[in-house]
Amino acid sequence: DIQMTQSPSTLSASVGDRVTITCRASQFINSHLAWFQQKPGRAPKLLIYKTSTLESGVPSRFSGSGSGTEFTLTISSLQPDDFARYYCQQYDSYTWTFGQGTRVETK
Amino acid sequence: QMQLQESGPGLVKPSETLSLMCTVSGGSINSRSYHWGWIRQAPVKGLEWIGNIYSSGSTYYNPSLKSRVTISADMSKNQFSLKVISVTAADTAVYYCARITITSTGWIAFDIWGQGTMVTVSS
């Protein structure tokens, strides 16, 4: 099985900060990597798919990059609405896996 | 805009079978443009992929759940379902159904989600 390791598990930041979350896959996953945002009591929301493609309606301050086994989600200027939990997910194999999540909290 | 809605019992007894349905509106589950999946989230835990059903009818499951899980589709009702047998307290979670979109340039995993339904396993 492909394991996904996210870091950090918690990130403290302020409005306006540049924020980066990293996701590492245990093996090569091509570009089949997605990022989701989840707020308490809500279903996850797709932000980015295929490593770097922004889902329709997602603000351009979100971006994704990476290749092979190392991937990042960057928020260029953190906004109040961005405090949430973020998950990466690989969909390269027949069996899919999520990272354990990163909580972005107020510093 | 397509919408997904989970339904099923909110309480299941240990050792019994958990059965959930996902009803799709605004589009057909029979379309070759979509596959479908189930994801769950235990209280204060992360997301766990349960399995997918493809438009071909093929199914793929999380290896840790494979022996207890079945996903199927009912085209006539535009629904797909999840069954988990022999449940324990560890199966207590919010269960989500979600859509996978197939495009000419690749897949978009889980682009639309249901709101989720809480299932508690308890006697």
From chain B, the residues in CB contact with A1 under 8 A are: 63
Residue that is written with structure tokens 């997605």 in the block: A34
Considering only CB atoms, which chain B residues are within 8 Å of A38? 47
Q: Do the Cβ atoms of B52 and A45 come within 8 Å?
A: no
> Is residue B120 within 8 Å of B11, Cβ to Cβ?
yes
Structure-block tokens of residue B82 = 């999840």
Residue A24 pLDDT: 98
Residue ranges of chain B whose pLDDT lies below 70:
none
Nearest to B62 among A45, A91, A95 (CB): A95
Q: Which two structure tokens, joined as six digits, stand for B119? A: 């299932």
Q: Answer yes or no: do A44 and B110 touch at CB < 8 A.
A: yes
| Beta-carbon contacts of residue B61 (< 8 Å; ≥ 6 apart) | A95, B50, B51, B69, B71
Q: Are strands A102-106 and A10-13 parallel, antiparallel or unpaired?
A: parallel
Can you count the helices (H) and strands (E) in chain A? 0, 11
Mean pLDDT taken over chain B: 97
Mean per-residue pLDDT pooled into runs of 10, chain A (107 residues)? 96 98 96 97 98 97 97 98 98 95 97
Cβ–Cβ of B49/A97 closer than 8 Å? yes
DSSP string covering B68-111, please? TEEEEEEGGGTEEEEEE-S--GGG-EEEEEEEEEEETTEEEEEE
Q: Assess contact for B38 and B116: CB atoms under 8 A.
A: no
pLDDT at B6: 98
Tens digit of each residue's pLDDT (9 = 90 or more) over B24-43: 999 999 999 999 999 999 99
pLDDT at position B95: 98
- The C-alpha atoms of residue B87 and residue B31 are separated, in whole angstroms, by 32
Give residue A77's pLDDT: 98
Cross-strand bridge partners of residue A78 = none
Residues of A whose CB is below 8 A from B116: 43
CA angle B112, B113, B115 (to 5 degrees): 145
- Is A55 within 8 Å of B107 when comparing Cβ atoms? no
pLDDT at residue A63 in the model: 98
- Residue A93: its pLDDT value, please? 87
The length of chain B in residues reads 123
> What residue in B sits closest to A97 (Cα-Cα)?
B49
- For residue B68, the model assigns a pLDDT of 98
Contact B41, B60 (CB under 8 A): no
